[in-house]
A and B are shown apart, each in its own frame.
Chain A
Amino acid sequence: MKSMKLMGAAIAGLVGYTGVMGTSLAQDTIKVGVLHSLSGTMAISETTLKDAMLMLIEEQNKKGGILGKQLEAVVVDPASDWPLFAEKARELIEVSKVDVVFGCWTSVSRKSVLPVFEELNSLLFYPVQYEGEESQRNVFYTGAAPNQQAIPAVDYLAEVEGVERWVLAGTDYVYPRTTNKILETYLKDSGVAEEDIMINYTPFGHSDWQTIVADIKAFGSAGKKTAVVSTINGDANVPFYKELANQGIAASDIPVVAFSVGEEELAGIDTGPLVGHLAAWNYFMSVDTPENAEFIKAWHAFIGDEGRVTNDPMEAHYIGFNMWVKAVEKAGTTAPDAVIDSIVGVAVPNLTGGYSAMMPNHHITKPVLIGEIQDDGQFATVFETPGLVVGDAWSDYLPDSKDLISDWRAPMSCGNFNTASGTCGGMQGQ
């Protein structure tokens, strides 16, 4: 009984707290929501993005804010709990009255907040590379679509390293499954035989890689150059690479190209034995441009630690935030409908020495970089696409989506227009 009363008091306290937060916010600031997990399993990746957002907002305020108003960050913690993402998104929009939200990491968290953003007509900038097959009016995808990461990486391996046999290894969830489906079709279309493709899925946080590495070794001994295309999720990569190295597989024998291993993941391991394994991203911390040097300097000053690294999703937030700022200035208001109209075509500098533009399908243009892991935990760029690649919301390599296009400009205003039947499939992607 006593504990019940306590609980009641705690709940009342919480409600009171959020209420206070809602009312105390002065009306002359523009509120920016940050929806990244600060606890739970995804805190490892998302905390950094929260800090990056705070830095970008602080810098914008130093420049005088937007439309003469200061920006104010509203940070919430969805605690790596997917349904909680939807609740927190609703709280940000309805209670805290934010004008825009930057957030989410995993695809499942994004899927869980989509209906909220649609219903309440707000804006979400999503900064992580993902499986595509989606285009929503209220969401801007600043990370890479599969054609901006996976396909150029496979092309590189086939052309430069002469790879003929492929292991598609991934963690068992939607991003690897969809990406591998796209890659499988792409490889078969380019003449790779069925028996030269091996697909393998592992559970989240898999740490015993002995059997799989032995299988890869066996698969790689068919006399053809073999490579592993890894969509293994963040954490499980470290034991995977350790096992590869211990079983004596070097990058010159069987190179591994990863789509989820960045500077942040490598910070936790001794990269000596990994030299030469690859990653495909749209940004590396080692990229030598004045914009990047300035960004890294600002990041180190903000976080107060010279040892912290920068990574691709941080750059995506950098691009997305600047695009939003520009679109708001162009529209003269933060009203979502006006920003959705004004942001298409907005181009801002990225950190790799070019400009990224927001396309009508709410994906952006980016260069694709392939880097090899170095012994200092950084990547050395060994390949860069000559021009920018336009993010493709609907893959051309999947039978279900090859006829779909997305264009959110009037008069089409459709996220999944079927060019074969000439109809719009509905408001929401998928």
Chain B
Amino acid sequence: MASALRLMLFAGLWLGLTFGGAHSGFAQTNPQLTPLLEKLDTRNFKQKADAVAAIAAIDDPMVVPLLKTLGAGDLYRRKSDGTYFRAIRKGSAFALHDLVSGDEVETLSKSAVERIIVNNSMRGQIDALLGSLTLRSADPKQRLSAAQSLLKERDPSGLNALEAAIEAEEQDHIRDVMIAARSAIVLYDTSAAQADRLEAVAALKARGGRSMMSLLSGAAGDQDPEVADAATAAAAAIDKELQFWALGQNVLYGLSLGSVLLLAAIGLAITFGVMGVINMAHGELVMLGAYTTFVVQDAIRSSAPHLFDYSLLIAAPLAFAIVGLVGIAIERGVVRFLYGRPLETLLATWGISLLLQQTVRSIFGPTNKEVGNPSWMTGGFELGYLTITYNRMWILVFALAVFAGLLLLLKKTAIGLQMRAVTQNRAMASDMGVRSGMVDAMTFGLGAGVAGLAGVALSQIDNVSPNLGQGYIVDSFMVVVFGGAGNLWGALAGAFTLGIANKFLEPFSGAVLAKVLVLVFIILFIQKRPRGLFPLKGRAVES
């Protein structure tokens, strides 16, 4: 009795030490693990995968962290003694952390450690193994991701663990995933009873969605004709439902493309639409906005990494101000001498665009610059069966906000009133005491600043390179001409119409032809209505 108690005390003490983090190194490595660990260090992926499977079967506190680290690609072997660590890159060296405790052990140069590489199929295998090992974890998030990876990999060896976990699970949404995972395994297990497999088909069908459809259509070629028929029917039913959703998805894609077009075009709607200046450097102003974002992020990365998520909020006003100033400089330096001479303006601004491109290329280099997505713009969420990605959603919101802001500025402020007065009748506005030269500069600067804002947004979805602007200049003119020059609402309607039309054409005609068709449509439309969707009425038109 007493000795048993003492033993328990010892065991408790040992456990406490193990999980308390005081334990370090591999002094207590399970003797079963040692030969398997040796096998991990090979270039033969088949052998490595076998070793991983064998390791997962051993009950040892090291197994889960080892597999996790391996799956994440952070597992390194110290060449001097062959022990494994989780290594984190520190400049050109690697900081080695103990696998179990996570304590930093030492920092070694790249040549002193060797990385254990995994490939895609091993990553899947490790996910599935970790899934069965962490199904009973105390953390619901971990349980959910475990169930999801089992559902994806449908590893039959996880079935027992799943059954037990389903019994114990208390949260409904996690249990649902677990049941789906069980159904998936049963469906693909040809030795299971037919009734069970048919039940699995029904369960998967009830869950619905793209991945369930994939699972079901995979079973459509099953040897058991009844199961095969049921699976085919279920997959077809889900497919039908999905097609309905696809319509909504297309509208969303169209809105998203429209918002990008709107952002790119809205600055032009002011310079070209309101002022009548053909600004071929508009795309490069957008590009400058994107580079401003890059510079801001670069500064944040090196000096205050914790602010990274706010980088866009800092970059937006800066881009507006900087690009706006560049715009004012272009207006004062070049464009103002060319009012009323559209051809010369076109050539001069095209020259400016080349100049800006090559300047940026000389300063920042010709290669793409890395602009990261803040965490709130990464990934997406599911709404019904619609996939909405955060970056596209926020860009849509941002585009509408910029539009509303501009509209307010033009309609409700003194400077807006002066801008409209000068564009409508310059002579009379001057007579009324409006300094028309200053107003011209401000208007052009405003258009440029808005282009800068567009650059901040576009840096999130496109390459930040000196060529960024070229891709958008034609689209922007298309939107403004189609929507009707001089009218912000026209730009809004034009952008969204073109966006949605493009996205509905794309599935049938392919991306290349869709673009061509949209262009042909605009040409025909302009023949019919030369002033666009929403023509500006009144005396200004005549001038």
| A residues lining the B interface (CB < 8 Å) | 38-39, 41, 43-44, 47-48, 160-162, 172, 200-203, 205-208, 210-212, 214-215, 217-218, 220-224, 235, 238-239, 242-243, 245-248, 251-253, 255, 264-265, 267-270, 273, 275-276, 278, 372, 374-376, 380-382
A223 and B120 form a contact (CB under 8 A): no
In the assembled complex, the Cα of A246 lies from the Cα of B461 at a distance in Å of 11
User: Could you say which residues of chain B place their CB within 8 Å of the CB of A160?
Assistant: 45, 119, 121
CB distance from B256 to the nearest CB of A (A): 6
Cβ contacts A to B, 25 pairs, < 8 Å:
A43-B466, A44-B368, A160-B121, A202-B512, A203-B512, A205-B467, A208-B257, A211-B507, A211-B511, A218-B210, A221-B210, A221-B213, A221-B214, A223-B220, A235-B368, A235-B467, A242-B461, A245-B378, A246-B392, A247-B387, A248-B387, A252-B123, A268-B368, A372-B117, A374-B73
A208 touches B214 (CB 8 A): no
Within the assembled complex, what's the spacing in Å between the Cα atoms of A209 and B32?
Answer: 49
Closest Cβ–Cβ distance, residue B239 to chain A (whole Å): 9
A276, B120: Cα distance in complex, Å: 6
Cβ–Cβ < 8 Å partners of A239 in chain B: 461-463
Q: Which residue of A lies closest to B260 (CB)?
A: A208
CB distance from A426 to the nearest CB of B (A): 32
Q: CB-CB < 8 A to A212: which residues of B?
A: 506, 511
The main secondary structure of chain B at its interface with chain A is helix
Q: How far is the CA of A349 from the CA of B10 in the complex (A)?
A: 62
List B contacts of A44 (CB < 8 A).
366-368, 465-467
Nearest neighbor of B149 in chain A, beta-carbon distance: A252
For the complex formed, measure the closest distance between the CB of A201 and the CB atoms of chain B, giving whole angstroms.
Answer: 6
How many angstroms between the C-alpha atoms of A235 and B391 in the bound complex? 19
13 additional contacts, CB 8 Å, given A160-B121, A235-B463? A47-B366, A212-B511, A222-B217, A247-B380, A247-B387, A255-B120, A264-B367, A265-B368, A267-B368, A268-B367, A268-B368, A270-B372, A275-B73
- Which residues of the other chain, B, contact A215 by a CB distance below 8 angstroms? 507
Closest partner residue, chain A, to B253 (CB atom):
A210
Q: Which residue of A lies closest to B461 (CB)?
A: A239
Q: Check: B250 CB closer than 8 A to any chain A CB.
A: yes
Q: Which of B224-254 contact A (CB under 8 A)?
A: 235, 242, 246, 249-250, 253
Contacts of A235 in B (CB 8 A): 368, 463, 465, 467
Contact B379 A248 (CB under 8 A): yes
B465 contacts A252, CB within 8 Å? no
Q: How far is the CA of A276 from the CA of B119 in the complex (A)?
A: 7
| Contact A268 B361, beta carbon cutoff 8 Å | no
Cα–Cα, bound, A276→B123 (Å)? 9
Cα distance A203–B471 in the bound complex, in angstroms? 11
- Across the interface, name the chain B residue whose C-beta is closest to A215: B507
Which A residues are CB-close (under 8 A) to B117? 372, 380-382
Q: Is B211 an interface position by the 8 A CB rule?
A: yes
Residue contact B219 to A223, C-beta cutoff 8 Å: yes
Are A248 and B380 closer than 8 Å at their CB atoms? yes
Interface membership of chain B positions 248-280, coded 1 if the CB is closer than 8 angstroms to chain A and 0 otherwise: 011001001100100000000000000000000
Contact A246 B507 (CB under 8 A): no
A206 — nearest CB in chain B belongs to which residue?
B511
List the 7 shortest-distance A-B pairs measured between CB atoms, nearest first: A223-B218, A268-B368, A221-B214, A246-B389, A223-B217, A43-B366, A210-B253
Interface assignment of B515: CB less than 8 Å from any CB of chain A: yes
Given contacts A160-B45, A205-B471, A235-B463, contact A252 B367 (CB under 8 A): no
Q: Is the pair B470, A41 in contact by a Cβ cutoff of 8 Å? A: yes
Q: Given the complex, which residues of B lie within 8 Å of A374, measured CB to CB? A: 73
Q: How far is the CB of B215 from chain A (nearest CB, A)?
A: 7
Q: Are B511 and A41 in contact (CB under 8 A)?
A: no
Question: A201 contacts which of B152, B213, B369, B512 (Cβ < 8 Å)?
Answer: B512
Bound complex: CA A268 to CA B387 (Å): 26
In the complex, what residues of B have CB within 8 A of residue A206's CB?
Answer: 511
Contact of A375 among B73, B124, B253, B391 (CB under 8 A): B73
A268 touches which of B213, B389, B465, B471 (Cβ 8 Å): B465
- With contact pairs A252-B124, A252-B127 given, residues A382 and B45 touching in the complex (Cβ less than 8 Å): yes
Whether A382 touches B510, Cβ cut-off 8 Å, given contacts A205-B471, A267-B368, is no
User: Which B residues are CB-close (under 8 A) to A201?
Assistant: 510-512
Residues in B279-297 with C-beta less than 8 Å from chain A? none
A200 and B508 CA atoms in complex are apart in Å by 12
CB distance from B462 to the nearest CB of A (A): 5
B41: min CB distance to chain A, Å:
14
Given contacts A43-B361, A47-B366, contact A221 B512 (CB under 8 A): no
C-alpha spacing A218/B73, complex, angstroms: 29
- Check A251–B120 contact: CB distance below 8 A: yes
Nearest A residue to B45, CB-CB: A382
B492 CB–A CB distance under 8 Å = no
Residues of A within 8 A of B366 (CB): 38, 43-44, 47
CA distance A251 to B219 in the complex (A): 23
* Of B45, B115, B357, B368, the contact of A269 (CB 8 Å cutoff): B368
Which residues does chain B contribute within 8 Å of A243, judged by CB atoms? 389
Question: Does B372 contact A210, Cβ atoms closer than 8 Å?
Answer: no
The minimal Cβ–Cβ distance linking A381 to chain B, given in whole angstroms, is 8
- Asked if A203 and B515 make an inter-chain contact with CB atoms under 8 angstroms apart, the answer reads yes
Q: Does B79 contact A (CB under 8 A)?
A: no
Closest to A275 in B: B73
Q: In the assembly, what is the distance between CA of A238 and CA of B365, in Å?
A: 18
List residues of chain B with CB within 8 A of the CB of A265: 368
> Of all chain B residues, which has the CB nearest A225?
B218
Q: Check B218 against A224 for contact (C-beta < 8 Å).
A: yes
Is the pair A238, B463 in contact by a Cβ cutoff of 8 Å? yes
Q: How far is the CB of A8 from chain B (nearest CB, A)?
A: 19
Complex CA distance for A203 and B512, rounded to whole angstroms? 5
Q: How far is the CA of A267 from the CA of B215 in the complex (A)?
A: 37
Q: Note all chain B residues with C-beta closer than 8 A to A39.
A: 357-358, 361
Instruction: With CB as the reference atom, state the residue of chain A lying closest to B252.
Output: A210
Residues 440-452 of B, flagged 1 when their CB comes within 8 A of A and 0 if not, give 0000000000000
B77 interface residue, CB < 8 Å from A?
Answer: no
Are A246 and B391 in contact (CB-based, < 8 A)? yes
Q: How far is the CA of A380 from the CA of B114 in the complex (A)?
A: 12
Return chain A residues, CB-CB under 8 Å to B511: 200-203, 206, 211-212
CB distance from B380 to the nearest CB of A (A): 5
Q: B117: nearest residue on chain A (CB-CB)?
A: A380
B380 A246 Cβ-Cβ under 8 A: yes
Q: Shortest distance in angstroms between A409's beta carbon and chain B's nearest beta carbon?
A: 38
| 8 A Cβ contacts from B496-526 to A | 503, 506-507, 510-512, 515
> Which of these, B210, B250, B260, contacts A211 with CB under 8 Å?
B250
- A246 and B390 in contact (CB under 8 A), knowing A221-B211, A268-B464, A380-B117? yes
What residues on A are CB-neighbors of B380 within 8 Å? 246-248
CB pair A161–B464 under 8 Å, yes or no, is no
A252 to B464, CA, bound (A): 28
